[in-house]
Chain A
Amino acid sequence: MSEPVLSKLIADLAGGRIRIVDLTQTLSPDFPQIVLPPEMGQAWPFRIEEASRYDARGPGWYWNNFSCSEHTGTHFDAPIHWISGRHLPENSTDTIAVQNFIAPACVLDCSREAAADADFLLTLDFLKKWERRHGRIAPASWILMRTDWSKRTDPVAYQNIDATGQHTPGPDSEAVKFLVQERQVLGFGSEAIGTDAGQGFHLKPPYPCHYYMHGAGRFGLQCLTNLDLLPPVGAVIIAAPLKIKEGSGSPLRVLALVPEPAAAAPRRAADRRAGRKRR
C-alpha cells in the first residue's frame, strides 16, 4: 500500500513539513578540480562551450556543450573507481542497485576541529563520542563529515595546496575500517575535494577511505555543501549518479530531505548540551 505513503510525502513537501536542502556545488569553470602530479592522467575541470545563443548559430535557442571528469564538482564515487573495488559485482554507476541512491545520513560536525587544523583526521574516538550523543550509526547510512570546508569560496583556500601538497580534512584508517566493518555504512561524504584527507597518501594504507569503502563495495560523495543545514540524524539523502556505462562516478545533484523543524534555526546551546530535541 505505497500510494498513501507517497501522497503523504508529496503533501509534506508541499506543506513545508519536509524541507529539501541542496547539498550540491554549482558546476562552473571556477570550481576547483582535483590536481594530480603532472606525470599522471588528469581529471578534466568543468568547461562549457556555447553552441548558440539566439544568434546566427541558432536563432531561437540557447544551448551549450560541456566537458568534465566523472569526478568534477559535487560527485559520486563508485566502487570501480578504486583498485580495491575493481572486481566487485555491481560496482559501476550503471550497475549499482538503485536502492542505494536514497538513504539516511549521519552528519558528523567537525567544523571546529577542521577550522583549527586543515589536516584534521576524523578518528575512531570521535565516532564513538558522536554515537554517545546521537546514538548508534544505523546500517546503510551515509556518513557525512561536516567541516564547513565548502564555505572556503576562494579556490586557492579550498584547494589549500602548499609545497608539501594538499591539506584538507578526512577520516583516518581506523575510523574508516570501523565504519565499514562495524557499522556497514553506505558510504562517506565530504565537503572537500576528496573523501580522503589531503595528506591521505601518507596514511596506511594510502587513501584509506577510498581503499576500504570501495573495497567493500561502498560509495563516496565529494564537494558537498550546506551540511551545516542538516541535523545530525534524520536527513534522507537522494544521490543518484549518471548512468554511465562502466562509469567510475559522476557529477550529480545531491539533495537532502529534512523533516521540519529540525531543518529550521540552529538549536539552542542548552538543548544541544542536554541532547534534547526540540519537540
Chain B
Amino acid sequence: MTPPLVRPPRKNPILRTRLPNLPPGGRSRVALGLTAAAALGRFELQVCRDCGTVQYPPREACRACLSHRLDWRAQDGAGELVSATLLHHSNELFYRERMPWRLGLVKLDCGPLIVAHLHGDCAPAPARVRVSLNLDRAGLAALVALPEKDTPNMADDRQLREMTCDPKFRKVLITDAKTALGQALVEAVVAAGADLVWAGHAEAWKKPPGFERLSAIPQVSLLPLDLTDSRAVKQLAGEIGGRVDILINTADYHRNFGISGREGIETARAEMDINYFGLLRLAQEFAPAMRARGADGQSSAVAWVNILSVFALSNFPPHGTYSASKAAALSLAQCLRAELAPAGVRVINIFPGPLDDEWNQSLPPPKIAPTRLAADIVAALRGGGEDVFPGDIAQDWLARWRDNPKALERELAAMPHQ
C-alpha cells in the first residue's frame, strides 16, 4: 500500500541544489503519436483500419497485414501483468538518482505487449492492471501500469509523482486571484494540499466580492502583482521566485471587439499587454529560478499553467482581438515549454471555452463555471497531460478543429455577433 505523502523537511540552504536530469528523450516521429495523445490526457494506440490489429510499439505499417492505414484510437488500458522487476541499476542519470525503480511487462487485452512503469500497489504477476499514458519528466509519453482499482494515496506513489505536478506540499503563485476564477483556484489549490498560495492582485482600488475572504485562509498570502509593470514583476520574482513550485497565470484582459467594432488599437493593446506581454514578463523573471529547481527535492518546481482560451486555436471574430492575443500567448507558451523542458518543468495550457463571466455574458450556454474550471485545472496538475480542454464547448471546439480547421473557421465566422 502506498504510504501517504509526508511534508518534506526544510531544505538545508548550504547544500547544492540537485540539477534536473531527464529520462531518455529520443523518439521516432511515429512514436510521438503517443505523446500527442498523452498531452491531451488520452491513451491511444495505432489500430489498423484494414485488419483491426492494435500496434505497439508505434510503427509505420501494420505488423499483421502491412497496411499503412493506421489510426490512433483510444484504448481502455486493461491488461494483465505478465512479469515485473525492480531496477537497482541504470545507465540513465535520471533513473540512477531515483533507484530502485519498478517496471512491468503487461499484455494489454487489446493485444500488444508493453513495458511500463509499475505502480507500487499493483499485485505481483500474474495480476490485472490498468495502463494509463502520462507525460514523463522529459515531456514524452510513458506508460504506467496502475492497480486495477484505485488504492488509498495512489497519487503519492513515488514513481507516479514523477509524472504529475501535484500541488500537495508545494508553493503556488496565482497571478490574478481577484477574478472569480482566481478566487476559485486559490481555494481549490489550498484544498489540494498546497503549503502556500501567493494570491496576486492588481488594481488595488478594485474590491470584487469574495476577495477579502481569501486573506482569511492561513495558506494564502496576498501580493500586489501588475503584469504590465516590468519592474514590479522583476521585483516580485526577486522576492519569491526562488520558492515558486507551480505558477498559474490567470491574468486575463478580455474585451468583446473584432476589428471594425472598435476604433483605435488601445483596447487590443491592453489585451496584448496582459495576455501576451504579461506572460512574457512573467516568463523572463520567474522561469529561470523554476528551471534551476526542477529536481529540487520532493517539492520541486514542477509546472507552469497558462489559462489560455479555446479562442486561441481559431479566432472567434466577435472577440477577435482577444482571440488574437490568446493565440499570441499560445505561441509564446510553446516557446516557454521548450525553454523549461530541460528542467522537467511542465507547461500546461488550459483552453477553456467561454467562462461564465461578464465578458461572455451574451454568449449562450454551456459556459464553464469558475469553480468547475478551477477543479479541472487542479485535475490537470494531478494528471499526466499538458493541453487541457475543459468543458463541453472546449471539447467540441477541439474536435472540430482537429477534424477540419477550415470548417471551424467558417463556423465561427457564421456565429451571430453580439
Binding site for B on A (CB under 8 A): 29, 32, 35, 38, 41-42, 45, 47-50, 155-156, 159-161
Contacts and interface: CB of A to CB of B under 8 A. Distances in A.
A156 B204 contact: yes
A198 to B, nearest CB: 11
A116 B156 CA distance: 59
A48 B230 contact: yes
A71 to B, nearest CB: 13
Given A155-B204, A155-B205, A156-B204, A49 B270 contact: no
Given A42-B270, A161-B205, A47 B264 contact: no
A48 B232 CA distance: 11
A29 B232 contact: yes
Residues of B in contact with A, size category: 10 to 19
B205 A45 contact: no
B360 interface: no
B226 A29 contact: yes
A49 B205 contact: no
Contacts of A47: 228-230
Contacts of A32: 205
Contacts of B270: 42
A155 B232 CA distance: 15
Q: List the 8 shortest-distance A-B pairs measured between CB atoms, nearest first.
A: A159-B205, A29-B229, A161-B205, A156-B204, A41-B266, A156-B205, A49-B230, A155-B204
B297 to A, nearest CB: 33
Interface of B: 203-206, 226, 228-232, 255, 264, 266-267, 270
B51 to A, nearest CB: 59
10 contacts: A29-B226, A29-B229, A29-B232, A35-B203, A47-B229, A48-B230, A48-B231, A50-B230, A155-B204, A159-B205
A118 to B, nearest CB: 13
Contacts of A42: 266, 270
A239 to B, nearest CB: 27
Instruction: Determine which residue in B205, B206, B255, B264 has the highest number of CB atoms from chain A within 10 A of its CB, and name it.
Output: B205
A45 B230 contact: no
A45 B227 CA distance: 12
B206 A161 contact: yes
A38 B358 CA distance: 11
Contacts of B231: 29, 48
Contacts of A161: 205-206
Nearest to B204: A156
A149 B229 CA distance: 25
Contacts of B267: 41
Nearest to B231: A29
Given A29-B229, A156-B205, A160-B205, 13 more contacts: A29-B226, A29-B231, A29-B232, A41-B267, A45-B228, A47-B230, A48-B230, A48-B231, A49-B230, A155-B204, A155-B205, A161-B205, A161-B206
B10 to A, nearest CB: 34
Nearest to A48: B231
A56 B205 CA distance: 39
Given A41-B266, A42-B270, A35 B230 contact: no
A258 to B, nearest CB: 34
Contacts of B226: 29
A32 B204 CA distance: 10
A155 B201 CA distance: 14
Nearest to B230: A49
B379 to A, nearest CB: 31
A45 B205 CA distance: 14
Contacts of B232: 29
